[in-house]
Homo-oligomer: A and B are copies of this chain.
Amino acid sequence: MKDVARQAGVSLSTVSYVVNDSGPVAGARRARVLDAVRLLGYTPNESARRLRNKSTATIGLIVPDLSNQFFALVAEGVEQAAAEQEALVVLCAPEAIDRPTQYYARLLRSQRLDGLIYLPGGEGMTLSLALELAEAGPVVMVDERIRGFEVPSVVADSRGGARAAAEHVLALGHTRVAIIGGPEALWTSEQRMFGFQEALAGYKVPLHSVTVRVGDHRIDSGASIASELLQGPASARPTAFICANDLMALGVLKHCRALGLAVPGDVSIVGFDDIPIAELVTPGLTTVSQPARTMGQLAADTLFRLLDGGECADVSSPLPTTLVVRDSVAAPDTCATRTH
């Protein structure tokens, strides 16, 4: 910048004025400065700028990992909204790197980020951790809520979606159903479980015919739970799996295939999220669609509004979810002897 000033024969302040156009400057001089900038290839040093300004034009994004396409889509949404504000996003994927989220809490705080978008996974999601993160700056949550942690949070209608999914299978006449819930600490897990229960109650399914298990939202847990539940005699095992997310549903599907069980002939499966793979598997996975990318965008937008406006726009009402019906659900096989 000094060089630019010298080259253009003006003072530092003048240069500053023109690059930010934050001050009055005569046409001729402005042109000279601009030329010098181009000539010297000058780019403002953001570190210095931030030191002065206090704003870093950078937000942090914490997602469990990127392998789950749902998270990847949320990340893309955040990235997109950030780009519109000329802001940068630093990526944190605690579960992918096998470090506690707390590690990032320290790191992010020292970076003086403008704010944080937080999508907690099953692991160490506690109030105290959230509070610690909040010390790094304003935070808005996506896809989750933490009781006692009063920040804006962008969520979808997990409960309604879950109910719709469960009703869809129940309406077909299934009675022996297995429910695979998500990690218990999560708000979404709770909501979806509520939704499932509501549907169960509505269809007056006897409690003893439904099996409930808890998974960790990953493929393997779906597969291993399926393996546990599917080993009884055909007449006793579940005819339908209702899963709290797609990955677990895919795990069930995978295991069914390994067992030679037909889907949906022998067992029906529903998932939740509608990640891109859902329509690619065979049979296509019936699932509940969440606007992942939009959720990311909305969260980022909320954060930015919160940052410069101060006013926290209300985003408390859940975004709509919709059941998308593919081929992984059918009426239960009433002729249970067909495999004999």
Cβ contact within 8 Å between A110 and B43: yes
| Nearest B residue (CB) for A75 | B66
Cβ contact within 8 Å between A97 and B79: yes
When distances are taken between beta carbons in the complex, the residues of chain B under 8 Å from A75 are 66, 91
| Nearest B residue (CB) for A50 | B47
A323, chain B: closest CB distance, angstroms:
21
A83 on the B face (CB < 8 A): yes
Beyond the given A76-B96, A91-B91, please list 5 additional residue pairs across the A-B interface where CB-CB is below 8 A: A46-B110, A46-B111, A48-B51, A66-B79, A67-B73
A45 on the B face (CB < 8 A): yes
Bound: A134/B76 CA distance, A: 24
A90 on the B face (CB < 8 A): yes
Query: Could you tell me how many residues of chain A have their Cβ less than 8 Å away from some Cβ of chain B?
Result: 54
Bound: A219/B280 CA distance, A: 10
Q: Which of A112-164 contact B (CB under 8 A)?
A: 112, 135
Bound: A46/B106 CA distance, A: 12
Cβ contact within 8 Å between A66 and B56: no
Known contacts A91-B90, A257-B282: A112-B47 contact under CB 8 Å: yes
A83, chain B: closest CB distance, angstroms:
4
Cβ contact within 8 Å between B76 and A67: yes
State which of B46, B66, B86, B253 has its C-beta within 8 Å of the C-beta of A66.
Answer: B66
A224, chain B: closest CB distance, angstroms:
16
A3, chain B: closest CB distance, angstroms:
16
When distances are taken between beta carbons in the complex, the residues of chain B under 8 Å from A67 are 69, 72-73, 76, 276
A134, chain B: closest CB distance, angstroms:
13
Q: Which of A88-116 contact B (CB under 8 A)?
A: 88-93, 96-99, 103, 106-107, 109-112
State which of B69, B109, B111, B282 has its C-beta within 8 Å of the C-beta of A282.
Answer: B282
Cβ contact within 8 Å between A43 and B109: yes
9 pairs of A and B residues whose beta carbons are closest in the complex: A282-B282, A66-B72, A47-B50, A91-B91, A76-B96, A80-B97, A83-B97, A47-B51, A43-B110
Cβ contact within 8 Å between A253 and B276: no
| Nearest B residue (CB) for A88 | B90
When distances are taken between beta carbons in the complex, the residues of chain B under 8 Å from A273 are none
Known contacts A91-B79, A97-B79: A112-B280 contact under CB 8 Å: no
